[in-house]
A = this chain, B = another copy of it.
Amino acid sequence: MGNVIDFDLHAANQAGEGPVERRRRSGGRAAERQRTAPRGSKYLNLVNPMARSAVLSDDALEAVHQASLTILEEIGMDIILPEARERMKAAGADVTPGTDRVRFDRGLIMEMMASAPSGFTMHARNPARNVDIGGNNLVFAQVASAPFVADREGGRRAGNQEDFRKLVKLAQSYDVIHTTGGYPVEPVDLHASVRHLDCLSDMVKLTDKVFHVYSLGKQRNIDGIEIARIGRGISMEQMEREPSLFTIINTSSPLRLDGPMLQGIIEMSQRNQVVVVTPFTLAGAMAPVTIAGAVVQQNAEALCGIAFTQMVRKGAPVMYGGFTSNVDMKTGAPAFGTPEYMKAVIAGGQLARRYNIPYRTSNTNASNTLDAQAAYESAFSLWALTQAGGNFVMHAAGWSEGGLTASFEKFILDVDMLQMVAEFLTPLDASADALGLDAVRDVGPGGHFFGTPHTLARYETAFYSPILSDWRNFETWSEAGRPTTYDHANRVFKEKLNAYERPPIDPAIEDELDAFVARRKQEGGVPTDF
């Protein structure tokens, strides 16, 4: 391919799914997005203008930072990949011969952190779906990696390709879902050796948004990069200039980075693709029982992974991931959306800002169903990550049961809540016209504003119109059978699936993609004994 192309979605929309106009990229990014943005889209390119909250004083923030560096310097991390240890040694780290242990001078870590970019753009095959990461930008990614899927009729069950595809289609259906975030549910009916080929091919075809590749052995990363490149119809050189794919790198807490994760960093960072380093530091389980201690450990592990991306390639795009929460001390089960989780999210934001790199957070809850708990734990998560200045929100929609289940109904509930957050973050219009003095003069004491010109000119768009909230009066609501949010979400996800339309794609690209997947399957995919 090698051509710089994108698609005129406006023309495509008018022409249905027929052939779409191809043209060379021209003009600035903003102009281009304008040209290709879906009509009526409202929640692209969100920014968060709110002042950030803090739970750590400046001194405490410095203490957390220094304690993390002390961990890396004195205790070190177990790095379970010889190639990674060699690269670290070459960069100046202290590798204990014959072991996995690597220790990092604090100067080395901070030197590496200094080259991590403060922001970057992730490029989608539809430029209107490009997402800016960092600064005040706020990007929502769909639920990822759930082993189970659930809807009310089908109950909770192991994931399969059909459910995978339905969830991906839903991600495409809402502009407030800016990227997918991995497989929303693990399709276990696809063999693990070729699953990534089918799934990533689906990501390209069923959506026009940025997507994620799992770091489960280097070949998957390489295949994912190639699929993203084909999907965008660009050269590898352009791919390297324009990060178009991301991977989540979880540490194996405490203080360990496993081989596939290290391979993922190497493969992605050396090609300038996006790495999101996210320790999973559950206070009281894989991290100290104190939130401050868990955040210290999170920070040590994040700094190690982020520094490694910069050892692989200076300037490679990377995010600081926070996922510290607490466990239920009665059962050891992870808890989410708790007060402790909120504090950890805000502390993580302070740290990411200290290092001036983008911050990845999550929309979490631990409920087994779509009840009030699912809503308040998610809302508390959204509260914290908004006030923390989270830039990239994984699991923003659909995450249920502490991440074990991707819920169709929860997906809709989350979309509604995300749109409310987006509306909340829209600047308040305080123009003279909005202040409404003339309207107040017109109405005067004791009147009402229902039919005034000021109201009539604005009422259709004045307020957010929620997807699920049922504001009918009690009698009308009772006559309608007393539906709950769960009922409404169940109805809406099916309606939305029925209304789904595939985004336009160049047939030549689709052919190239199919050919690549067929060839790689022919070759046997990837070994599954990693």
Contacts and interface: CB of A to CB of B under 8 A. Distances in A.
A460 to B, nearest CB: 7
A524 interface: no
Interface centre among A376, A377, A458 (most CB of B within 10 A): A376
A254 B420 contact: no
A474 B404 contact: yes
Contacts of A474: 156, 368, 401, 404-405
A190 interface: no
A175 to B, nearest CB: 16
A448 interface: yes
Contacts of A458: 289-290
A335 B430 contact: no
A463 B292 contact: no
> Interface residues of A toward B: which range?
35 or more
B254 A443 contact: yes
Given A430-B57, A430-B60, A472-B333, A462 B372 contact: no
A500 interface: no
A455 B254 CA distance: 15
B289 A454 contact: yes
A396 to B, nearest CB: 14
A428 B324 CA distance: 14
A513 interface: no
A128 interface: no
A468 interface: yes
B372 A455 contact: no
B289 A60 contact: no
A371 interface: yes
Contacts of A380: 379, 420, 424
Contacts of A32: none
Given A369-B482, A373-B468, A474-B368, A289 B441 contact: no
A255 B445 CA distance: 5
B285 A329 contact: no
Interface of A: 50-51, 53-57, 60, 63-64, 67, 70-71, 74-78, 100-101, 156, 252, 254-256, 283-294, 296-297, 300, 326-329, 331-333, 335, 338-340, 342-343, 347, 366-380, 383, 387, 401, 404-405, 413, 417, 420-421, 423-424, 426-437, 439-441, 443-450, 454-455, 458-460, 462-464, 466, 468-474, 477-478, 482, 484-486, 489
A455 B293 CA distance: 11
A286 B444 CA distance: 10
A70 B255 CA distance: 63
A288 B456 CA distance: 11
A301 to B, nearest CB: 10
Contact of A367 (B50, B75, B421, B470): B470
A474 B472 CA distance: 33
13 contacts: A254-B449, A255-B444, A256-B446, A284-B449, A286-B448, A286-B449, A288-B440, A292-B434, A292-B436, A329-B463, A367-B470, A368-B478, A369-B484
Nearest to A77: B445
Contacts of A283: 462-463
Nearest to A49: B55
Nearest to A420: B339
A447 B286 CA distance: 7
Contact of A60 (B428, B466, B468, B484): B428
Given A286-B449, A455-B284, A471-B328, A292 B383 contact: no
Nearest to A76: B445
Given A53-B51, A375-B373, A401-B474, A288 B454 contact: yes
Contacts of A289: 436, 439, 449, 454-455, 458-459, 462
